[in-house]
């Protein structure tokens, strides 16, 4: 009976140790992944970005912010 209990304890300890090692490996793997990130060069960005679509989105956002700004100003004037 004592041998079974001892082997169960060893098994639990082994499982915990194995789990902790796995956590450590995942952290190392994540650090390695992010350390391999490299910024895009200007040429790559030019090739990847659809400039026409970007300009349209920027115009939409400018129009939205302008509209929002006038609504806020009107709200403040009413108060």
Cα-based distances in Å from 50 to 44, 53, 56, 57, 64 = 12, 5, 10, 11, 21
Q: Which helix (H) or strand (E) holds 47?
A: helix 42-48
Over residues 12-66, the pLDDT tens digits come to 777 777 777 777 677 766 766 666 677 778 888 888 889 999 999 999 999 999 9
The residue among 9 and 29 whose pLDDT is bigger is 29
Q: Are 40 and 48 in contact (CB under 8 A)?
A: yes
Supply the Cα-derived Rg of the chain in whole angstroms.
29
Note the pLDDT of residue 53: 93
Name the pTM for this structure.
0.40
């Amino acid at each position: 009976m004592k041998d079974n209990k001892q082997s169960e304890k060893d098994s639990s300890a082994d499982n915990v140790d194995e789990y902790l090692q796995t956590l450590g490996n995942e952290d190392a793997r994540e650090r390695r992944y992010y350390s391999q990130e490299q910024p895009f060069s200007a040429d790559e960005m030019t090739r990847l970005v659809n400039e026409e679509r970007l300009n349209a989105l920027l115009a939409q956002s400018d129009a939205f912010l302008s509209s929002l700004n006038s609504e806020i100003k009107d709200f403040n004037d009413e108060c």
